Structure 1
Amino acid sequence: MISGNSMNPTIKDHNLIFISKLFYTPERENIILVENNDGMTIIKRLIGMPNDIIEIKDHTIYVNNKPLKENYTKGLTEDMKKVTLKAGQYFVIGDNRSPVESLECRDPALGPIYRSQMKGEALFSLLPFGKLNH
């Protein structure tokens, strides 16, 4: 059961989702469960892979200097200086880009994540029933 609005409009507060913890291989734009630095599980969209360069300019996310085509967001993404991910690092962000709606890699309290923090992939919503945007 989801608690919060960080993935709205894709996943809303109190949606019940089905996740896969088996055989998960990280892929860009997957919706994943992540264990944050406090041991809490959060749900985010994976947009940056190891060694990627991530920048947010004029409310657009650039991955390796190419704009990321997103049709699943809400709100305007605040600009961010270029970040180069190191080997083994990943970048996750919420679909709800309204300020203070999401703890994600732009927040120094989380920063880039590692494969060991990924707990699985969200595959579909059980309530309401439907496929999640990927």
Structure 2
Amino acid sequence: MNNSKKKELLDWIKSIVVAFVFVVAMRTFIFSPISVDGASMMPTYEDGDRVIVNKISKQISGIERFDVIVFEAPIGKDYIKRVIGLPGDHVAYKDDTLYINDEPLEEPYLDLYKEQLPDNGSLTQDFTLQSLTGYSTIPEGYLFVLGDNRSNSIDSRFPSVGLVPMEKVLGIANVRFYPFDSLGIVK
């Protein structure tokens, strides 16, 4: 092999290694794709939707109430849920209304489900944070999360998930890239 071919081959190898390192760094530190598994976030996310988990936004802007996050669940897989309660919050549900620190809050992402309820039924059963976790307010470093499909979601209401430690949060999931007809930013 002559020197010019060796140099060209070496340049290709360098380019491939740099591209590989770049992709690994992007997936590790900035974003990664995940597939939604199950119906717990319907209608916001459907089973099989593909979303981008933005890992950097949780460090830059922080996690806010109603963000959809992906976190490492204690049962060995990643979950996607909506942040309802932040550290210091008292969370309660009464008569299908969310109360944060005794103030009622609107949840427009649930409107579609509430419209479909027969006989003005209840989408979310009554509870208080204390009745579920033993805490009157969410401790520092933890989040309270719920799935949008309240009747079909394993979330902070269940001891197997409970309050989510901030260090288990992988990132915010607000971009759907598949199916293509639903491509875009999700609120």
Q: TM-score, normalised by structure 1?
A: 0.91
Task: Map Cα deviations across residues 10-62 of structure 1 (whole Å, 9 max, x no partner).
Answer: 11111111111124121111000011112310000011110100001111111
Task: Map Cα deviations across residues 64-121 of structure 1 (whole Å, 9 max, x no partner).
Answer: 11112111123501111243211222101001112xx111101111111111110110
Check conservation: 1:51, 1:89, Cα contact below 8 A. no
Q: Which has the higher strand share?
A: 1
Which residue number corresponds to residue 91 of structure 1?
A: 144
Report the RMSD for the aligned CA atoms in angstroms: 1.3
Check conservation: 1:33, 1:120, Cα contact below 8 A. yes
**Could you tell which deviates more after superposition, 41-50 or 75-84?**
75-84
Q: Which has the higher helix share?
A: 2
Which residue number corresponds to residue 185 of structure 2?
A: 131
Matches within 5 A, 1:1-134: 1-24=35-58, 25-73=62-110, 74=113, 76-83=123-130, 84-98=137-151, 101-127=152-178, 128-133=182-187
Q: TM-score, normalised by structure 2?
A: 0.66
Report the secondary structure of 2:167's partner residue: helix
> 4+ runs of 1 displaced by more than 6 Å?
none
Give the Å deviation of 1:125.
0.7
Which fold has the larger relative contact order, with Cα–Cα distance below 8 Å and residues 6 or more apart in sequence? Answer: 1
What count of residue pairs does the alignment treat as equivalent?
131
Distance 2:37 2:93 in 1: 27
Structure 2's unaligned 5+ residue stretches are 1-34, 115-122, 131-136
